[in-house]
Amino acid sequence: MLAQIKAMSANAKVGESLAPAVAADNKINFADVLKASLDQVSKSEDQSTKLGQRFALGDDSVNLSDVMISIQKASITLQTTVQVRNKLVSAYHDIMNMQV
């Protein structure tokens, strides 16, 4: 997820369009980047579920290895998202506990 955010940031600097993530003044909106990343996690999980269902129904075009790889990719993506969330919450708590 962090790599995706960095890649999107690099693409914005190059001039490629990031329609939902770039505001009118060409600054990246964190909320939109976060939402796009979460949407990608959801899409990955949906894709692996559908692939697993197709394999279970006997679709000959779907291999077991493809299903397992898809499930592992979705799992890693979700674990990464949870770790990023944990880091953000930890950083928030650190900031809130600072004395001003």
Q: pLDDT averaged over the chain?
A: 83
The pLDDT assigned to 33 comes to: 87
Distance between CA atoms of residues 98 and 75, nearest Å: 35
* C-alpha torsion angle, residues 12, 17, 20, 22 (rounded to 10): 40
C-alpha distances in angstroms, 47 versus 33, 50, 84? 21, 5, 22
Distance between CA atoms of residues 27 and 56, nearest Å: 45
Q: Where are the domains of the chain?
A: 2-96
Prediction pTM value: 0.66
pLDDT by residue (tens digit) across 36-65? Answer: 989 999 999 999 999 999 999 999 999 999
Distance between CA atoms of residues 26 and 19, nearest Å: 10
Q: What is the pLDDT along the chain (100 residues), one digit of tens a residue?
A: 666 666 666 665 544 444 455 555 678 888 898 899 899 999 999 999 999 999 999 999 999 999 999 999 999 999 999 999 999 999 999 999 998 7
